[in-house]
Structure 1
Amino acid sequence: MRYMLLIYNDEAATANAPRDKTEQVLAAYGAYTEALKKSGAWLAGDRLRPTQAAASVRMANGNTNVLDGPYADTKEQLAGFYMIEATDIDTAIEWGGRCPAASTGTVEVRPIWEMTEYLSEK
């Protein structure tokens, strides 16, 4: 089954981190990504640009409403993701716990609802 590991961090703290700390974090993510790839669990993953570069889109009464930045003002922002293959939720949670963000922010582990499952339920 595929899972998303959604990485949430305080982007202001990340932006203001000392250079040596940033380099340590990037090295930790490099090692984590390599471990995922070597295990065969890695399917995709990337870092996201800061929320100032985001736009939120909603449709209301046939009109497209665009809001610059994220929709929610929260302490932690979605900073990146990994899509992994795991045999079960416990294995996915183990990978989530190994993610560097788990020690500084939050890693949300969410199963992907495969469209083939949805279509077969109808």
Structure 2
Amino acid sequence: MKIAVPTRGNIVDDHFGHCEAYSVFTIDNNKNIENAELYPSPQGCGCKSNIASLLQEEGVTVMLAGNMGTGALNVLTGHRIKVYRGCSGNASKAVQDFLDGKIADSGEGCDHHQEGHQCNHEL
């Protein structure tokens, strides 16, 4: 299994489409993190980039994200990547929490055009 996390440093980035990179964690059969690789974020909005197809080609099936708009959610889902929004903090810890069954999708998206809206939900 491979899990992607939009990151800034080693922290889950609050905004999927504006992260520094995507950290891709390879998980072994015993639900342990076996490997982690960084994929630079493409320029521009995440929902309009090729990141979903790239992640799908790399075998990613799960995305743990802070927040994202409906466009990005639809693009990832269309590439058979299950999205869990509302994640925050250390990326490796978020992956481990997911593997331990402690993460569920917050169901809340991010509309960065809505004035005054902040996208930083805690689990």
Whether the TM-score (by the shorter chain) exceeds 0.5 is no
Which of the pair is proportionally richer in helix? 1
Taking structure 1 as the reference length, the TM-score comes to: 0.26
Taking structure 2 as the reference length, the TM-score comes to: 0.26
Which of the pair is proportionally richer in strand? 1
User: In terms of Rg, which structure is larger?
Assistant: 1
